[in-house]
Amino acid sequence: MAAGYLNNVWLQDPKGYLVASGYHWLHGIHPHVQWYDDIWNVWGVPKHALIGWLIKHEALNTMMKLKQIGICSTDQCLLCENGQETHEHLFVQCDYSQRVLQYVTLWLQDTGNQGSSIVKTRIRRVAMLACWYLIWLERNRCRHELMLARPEKIGKEVQMLVRQRIQHFIQKPVGNNDNNWLVQIGTNVI
């Protein structure tokens, strides 16, 4: 890298020097991962996105990781007590998490079958991140306070968070199909 800097390689862009070309020269160009838009989207809550990003990178301190480094004596899932707590288990296979996701999925179902739209896609992304965030929060609450709320309660918290995001982002009328769906899921917009 130092040789490239000393030889002015970063200035060899045909358009002249651009900050973007200097940045790309320094850091390189990374491929766009498939899940990027699901995590880092305009409607998302930043702390939810951070947890989503950590999940995708399997970087949360699950019970399996804590046992491996000697902090815990068990790696059992704290939410369902039925399996080793890994990222895959906690956010996909865990009975507790599945019940939360099922509650939210049923709520967001489009009974009118009008297909997907940008609004619906964004709302579903916000809901998924909120589910993951609240499942992780509940898992930590269970670990540190020895308390566990019912999955339906977590599902209702997801609904509340998603409705707040909808109210914040939808400031103008949407198409009839989206509007009908928003009414169906109990969101009063415009």
pLDDT tens for residues 4-54?
455 666 566 666 667 777 777 677 777 778 888 899 999 999 999 999 999
Pick the closest to residue 43 from 169, 134, 187, 175 (CA basis): 169
- Residues 11, 63, single domain; the answer is no
Domain of 143 in residue numbering reads as: 36-184
- Residues 99, 161, single domain; the answer is yes
**Residue with more model confidence, 23 or 83:** 83
- Residues 59, 147, single domain; the answer is yes
Is residue 179 scored above 90 in pLDDT? no
What pLDDT does 55 receive?
Answer: 97
**Is-contact 55 139, C-beta < 8 A?**
no
12 found inside a domain: yes
- Residues 88, 15, single domain; the answer is no
47 found inside a domain: yes
189 found inside a domain: no
**Residue with more model confidence, 155 or 32:** 155
- Residues 73, 110, single domain; the answer is yes
Mean pLDDT of all residues in the chain? 88
Domain count, the chain: 2
